[in-house]
Structure 1
């Protein structure tokens, strides 16, 4: 798979998610992953700071990108919102 992050990840207003863009198959997709998913699957402590939120994202970036890319390719949409249930096995 030939996917890259287009820009640095940022924290959404209010700290409810991490926002990022990925490029897959020649198009840019706006993505987000909710705080709840990071808490449940990427060891983010509840009530963690924005710095810790971005660290949890960075630590799980490969897995997060893989799920985001699969959804981008499957649904051909311009925006993807990753939630905890996207990471269930």
Structure 2
């Protein structure tokens, strides 16, 4: 299982988990929303911080893959992943 390069953090607003994605010489600030974790990673509503971070870490490989695909399509320095990004056609 892949590990994030930097320790993930829960946003002060509790609306998402913030993490960095390192690609080559570029570092991109990323956020995966709590709504995405609830919809696609089995996070229960109003979960405690430890549970949120555990779910994030357990799903990190998939989260990273989606983030990398989104970055290939749209170069940016800040990326937000929402439930729509995890929908399968």
By the TM > 0.5 criterion, same fold?
yes
Q: Show CA shifts across 1:43-80 (max 9, x none).
A: 00001011111011011000000001111122110010
Shift of 1:26: 1.9
Give the alignment's Cα RMSD to 1 decimal.
Answer: 1.2
Structure 2 unaligned blocks of 5 or more: none
Runs of 4+ in 1 over 2 A off after TM superposition: none
Q: Which residue of 1 aligns with 2:4?
A: 5
Q: Which residue of 1 aligns with 2:65?
A: 66
- 2:21 touches 2:30 (CA, 8 Å); kept in 1? yes
Q: Take 1:25 and 1:88, find their aligned partners in 2: how far apart are those partners?
A: 27
Aligned length: 86
Structure 1 unaligned blocks of 5 or more: none
More helix by share: 1
Q: Take 1:76 and 1:49, find their aligned partners in 2: how far apart are those partners?
A: 33
